[in-house]
């Protein structure tokens, strides 16, 4: 089973700053299978990025995804107050299980 490792565990930033979140896989994977989600307390998770770099419907363009092989990145270009949340990467595969990273919390500095 492929393991997803996200870093850092917590990112302390101010509104307006740039956030760079990392997701590393334990072996090379297809970028077509990598998704990112935002999760706030008491709410359902929200799909941000699929196929490593495609924004989901309604997602602002300050969110972008990139990467290939074993290294993937979610970038938030300028943090808005509503962006402070926990972010997860997720890997799909030709057969289950699907796997989530352990999450990166983006908190207000």
- Which of residues 64 and 102 has its CB atom nearest to other proteins in the complex? 102
Stretch that binds other proteins, among 10-18, 20-28, 46-54, 71-79 (CB under 8 A): 46-54
Give the residue, chosen from 22, 73, 77, 99, that forms a contact with other proteins under the rule CB under 8 A. 99
- Which of residues 29 and 79 has its CB atom nearest to other proteins in the complex? 29
Cβ pair 53, 89 in contact under 8 A: no
Give the residue, chosen from 13, 17, 46, 64, that forms a contact with other proteins under the rule CB under 8 A. 46
Give the residue, chosen from 16, 27, 44, 61, that forms a contact with other proteins under the rule CB under 8 A. 44
* Distance separating alpha carbons of residues 68 and 80, to the nearest angstrom: 27
Give the residue, chosen from 76, 85, 88, 106, that forms a contact with other proteins under the rule CB under 8 A. 88
* Distance separating alpha carbons of residues 90 and 103, to the nearest angstrom: 10
Residues binding other proteins (CB under 8 A)? 30, 32-35, 37, 39, 43-47, 49-51, 56-57, 86, 88, 90, 92, 95-103
């Amino acid at each position: 089973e492929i393991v997803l490792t996200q870093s850092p565990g917590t990112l302390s930033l101010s509104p307006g700053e740039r956030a760079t979140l990392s997701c590393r896989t334990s072996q090379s994977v297809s970028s077509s299978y990598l998704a990112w989600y935002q999760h706030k307390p008491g709410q359902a998770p929200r799909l941000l990025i699929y196929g490593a770099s495609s924004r989901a419907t309604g997602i602002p363009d300050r969110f972008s995804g990139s990467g290939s092989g074993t290294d993937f990145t979610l970038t938030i270009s300028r943090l808005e107050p509503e962006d402070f949340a926990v972010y997860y990467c997720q890997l799909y595969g030709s057969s289950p299980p699907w796997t989530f990273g352990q999450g990166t919390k983006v908190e207000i500095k």
